[in-house]
Amino acid sequence: MRLTVIGTGYLGATHAICMAVLGHEVLALDRDLDRLEALAGGRVPFHEPGLPEMLRKALDSGRLRFTDDVAEVAAFGDVHFVCTGTPQLPGSMGADLSQVEGAVTALAPHLERPCLVVGKSTVPVGTAERLAATLAALAPVGEAAGLAWNPEFLREGHAIEDTLRPSRLVLGVTSDDARERLEAAFAPLLAAGVPCVVTDLATAELVKVAANSFLATKISFINAMAEVCEASGADVHQLAAALALDDRIGGRFLKPGLGFGGGCLPKDIRAFIHRAEELGTGHSVRFLREVDDINQRRRGRTVELVREAAGGDLRGVRVCVLGAAFKPHSDDVRDAPALDVARRLHEEGARVVVVDPQALDNARRTHPELEYAGSALEAAAGAHVVALLTEWDQFRGLDPARLGAVVERRAVVDARGALDPVAWRAAGWTHRGLGAA
């Protein structure tokens, strides 16, 4: 098939590359010329394991091209996938839909032959129906330009696996033609047995926000238990291990620690609260406010632990922060808990030196007030407190004796439960973690 992908951010680039590898002719559109040049030259402009190799394969096949010309895209595609971002609006919990709306209104006037426009972006329920009306009104071919919704569940760090072997496909459609076009686009996945749920537009939009809300709730549940453990002398890691053995509960997304961040979970639960309130059913998801609050409190508690480890006052204290990315295997620093904590420590007067295997360039751009180092040993030189805030394997594997030789004081705060307290204490460190007394 001839597919187009509008928006070559994280989601769009991965989707375009994988669809070309699956055998489709793909034309990807972006208005960012630097990004297009990088991708066309075989460079992925973000960190995603395995994606550069897949991009090379897609380019070598001759089936993947890039453009900034929307008319070319309209003329080329049988199916157009909209993969633009929906960040949180400044000063509101709601989502900024301008990029998704802009993509559809820019494309529609050029649609002169029957096609299907498919939204993949995460949007508030009701958006697709509105966009379908916009499309029908603006497209020269009228109702022969259909609209469908196909939410994406890919995780950063597992983008290829989640695109080529997703847990499920959700096809939100209003016609047989739309369903058939989507089934043809995903034919290799369906043939491989990927479960497929066909729904209406609203349900497809909701599946995505409901899934992310559930995951966020699970994380905040165990972090709420961490607060109770801290107050009662129990140990949340042992608690989580015991809960996980009940397969009705399961251990995934039950990892206690500094909580969730990134470009998806935090803004998606807020946009969901906002949309539910608009629909007059705010009470149904009121618990998500609590989920958000629990998540934010973990950041505050981590700052408290570092302050305590520093003797009660952070002014003039040198803190080595291990981790900047919102999670390991990513260079994404959007709403990164680690950088939020680092910023707060800095605001309280600490001299903060951050190290991260992949996210330093992005962190430098968003947090120029912090200092950065190229290695953990360099960041820890002269530190009064070491704080592990993103659980990269490189940090898990640090030798407490080697690090102990360069710091000023052997005090470590492990906000991700990634270090072995016994080994660190044996090497002369005071060790504090979240979720234990």
Q: Which residues are marked as active site?
A: 264
Q: Of the two residues 310 and 333, which places its CB atom closer to ligand UGA in the complex?
A: 333
Least Å distance, CB 259 to ligand UGA, is 5
φ, ψ (nearest 5 deg) of residue 49: -55, 130
Residues 275 and 290: their CA atoms lie apart, in Å, by 17
Q: Is 157 helix (H, G, I), strand (E, B) or coil?
A: coil
Least Å distance, CB 15 to ligand UGA, is 12
Least Å distance, CB 391 to ligand UGA, is 8
Least Å distance, CB 151 to ligand UGA, is 8
Residues 382 and 373: their CA atoms lie apart, in Å, by 13
**Alpha-carbon distance values, 149 to 87, 136, 208, 296 (Å):** 18, 16, 11, 32
Chain-centroid distance of CA 428 in Å reads 37
Q: Of the two residues 262 and 400, which places its CB atom closer to ligand UGA in the complex?
A: 262
Residues 31 and 104: their CA atoms lie apart, in Å, by 14
Contact footprint for ligand UGA (CB under 6 A): 122, 152-156, 212, 215, 219, 253-255, 257, 259-262, 264-265, 268, 326-327
What is the layout of strands, in order, in the sheet containing 411-414? 371-372, 351-355, 318-322, 385-388, 411-414, 430-433
Least Å distance, CB 211 to ligand UGA, is 6
Question: Nearest Cα to 262, choosing from 336, 360, 198?
Answer: 336
Q: Of the two residues 74 and 276, which places its CB atom closer to ligand UGA in the complex?
A: 276
Q: Of the two residues 253 and 287, which places its CB atom closer to ligand UGA in the complex?
A: 253
Strands (E), 250-397: 318-322, 351-355, 371-372, 385-388
φ, ψ (nearest 5 deg) of residue 431: -120, 125
Q: Of the two residues 275 and 327, which places its CB atom closer to ligand UGA in the complex?
A: 327
